[in-house]
Amino acid sequence: PRAILDMSYSRHFLDFQGSSIPSSMKKLVVTKLSQNFREAVTLRQDSPVPLPGDGDLLVRNRFVGVNASDINYSAGRYDTSVKPPFDIGFEGVGDVVALGLSASADYTVGQAVAYVKAGSFAEYTVVPAKQAVPLPSVKPEFLTLMVSGTTAYISLKELGDLSEGKKVLVTAAAGGTGQFAVQLAKKAKCHVIGTCSSDEKGGFLKSIGCDRTINYKTENVESVLRKDYPEGMDVVYESVGGKMFDLALNCLVTKGRLIVIGFIAGYQNPTGLQPIKAELLPAKLLKKSASIRGFFLNHYLSEYKMALEHLLKMYERGDLVCEVDFGDLSPEGKFTGLESVFRAVDYMYMGKNIGKIVVELPHSVNSKL
C-alpha cells in the first residue's frame, strides 16, 4: 500500500490552539545599507506573521539579543550579495506557538526555545526545528549563551591553548562576550586581566573572578601592563580594534596568541576598520613567534552544539554568571518592545552595558499556552 502524506493535515498545527495569533506583526527591516543603524533600519508595523513549513516552528519572541555585529549586518558588510530590504536580528528566545507536521515529532506548542537565525528582531520568527534549541523555560540568561557565550567558549578552546598560570588579557571584558571569556579563562586556572570603561564595570569583573581590572578611562592600559606584567600576555581576547589592537599585539609574550573576535571601534565608521600600525606586523610576529587568529562563529558551527550544551549545563549548575543588561539604567529606561532596539544599539556603542544587551518583547500571554 502506498503511504499517503496529506500535507493539508499540517493545517491542524497552524490552528494556533486558540492562542489568538494576529495576522500581522511588527518587525525591523534593513531598508538601506548604512553603518548608522537608525538610518539603515525601519520598524514595519504591519508585516504578515509568517507561516511555518513542514519542518519549522513559529516562535513568538520574548527576548532578543543585541550584538555589535548588528551594525555590520545593516551596513551590508557580512554578505555583499544581500540587497535591502532584509530582516535583521541574530538571536531570540521565545515560545513555540505553531509548528509544521514533521517538526511536531520533537516539539510542541508552548515549548520554550532559543535560536540563532537572521530575523529575530520581529514579534514572530519562523525557525527550522533542526536549528532550535529546546530550553527548560523562557529566560533571558539563555540568550547570552547563544552567540556571545559560544564565541568565547569555542574561540578560547580552539585557538587559546589555555592552561594553568597563563596570563590572559580580555578587552571590553564586561561586555556580552567578554564576561564569558573572563570566566572561562578563570576556569582554566589562568590569571585574567580585563579592560573596561568604568569602576562599576570593574566591580562586576572582580565579582566574576577577574584578577586585575583596568579602567581605560582613568588608567593608561599600556603603562599598567608594562609595570604590572612586564613579561607580557600569553593570550589576548580582542574585540575592540584600533589602538587597542596595537597595544594587544605589543604586549604578547614569545609564542603569544592574539584572538580577534571583533573590532567594535571601527563598526560605526563609514570605512569600517580603524587603521592599525600593521606595517611592522611581520617583524613583530617573527620576533616573538607570535600568532594572530581571527574567529568568526559561522566558521565553527561543527563545534556549536557541543559548546552550547556545555555552557547550558554550567549555567544550570550555577558555575557560570550570565549577566543580562536590559538598559534599566539608560536615560529612557528598560529596553522593551522592538522600537527600543534602536536605543539598545546606541547604548552598546556608548559602552554603557554590563553583560549582554537584551530587549524584552512583551506579549499578553494567552492562558491556553
Q: What is the mean pLDDT of the chain?
A: 92
Cis peptide before 85 (omega within 30 of 0): yes
In tens, the pLDDT along 221-231 reads 999 999 999 99
Q: Which candidate, 62, 130, 118, places its Cα nearest to that of 90? A: 118
Confidence of residue 12 (pLDDT cuts 50, 70, 90): very low
Q: Which candidate, 45, 26, 25, 29, places its Cα nearest to that of 37? A: 29
Share of the chain above pLDDT 70, in %: 92
Provide CB contacts within 8 A for 272, sequence distance 6+.
35, 75, 77, 266
In tens, the pLDDT along 146-159 reads 999 999 999 999 99
Cα gap 212→210, rounded to integer Å: 6
Q: How many CA atoms lie within 13 A of 296 on its CB side?
A: 5
Asked whether residue 367 carries a pLDDT value surpassing 50, the answer given is no
pLDDT for 6: 45
Sign (positive or negative) of CA dihedral 291, 246, 184, 150: negative
In tens, the pLDDT along 65-111 reads 999 999 999 999 888 888 999 999 999 999 998 898 899 999 998 99
In tens, the pLDDT along 268-293 reads 877 666 677 777 899 999 999 999 99
What the block records as the C-alpha cell of 254 is 614569545
Taken in order of first residue, the domains within the chain and their CATH numbers are 8-138+323-360 (3.90.180.10), 146-299 (3.40.50.720)
What are the helix (H) ranges across the chain?
37-40, 70-74, 140-144, 150-155, 178-187, 199-207, 221-228, 243-250, 281-288, 304-317, 341-349
pLDDT for 10: 47
For residue 325, the cross-strand partners are: 357
- pTM for this entry: 0.91
Q: Residues 192-218: what's their mean pLDDT? A: 98
Over 331-356, what HEC string results? CCCCCECHHHHHHHHHHHHCCCCCCE
Contact indicator for 272, 77 with CB cutoff of 8 Å: yes
Confidence of residue 369 (pLDDT cuts 50, 70, 90): very low
pLDDT for 27: 98
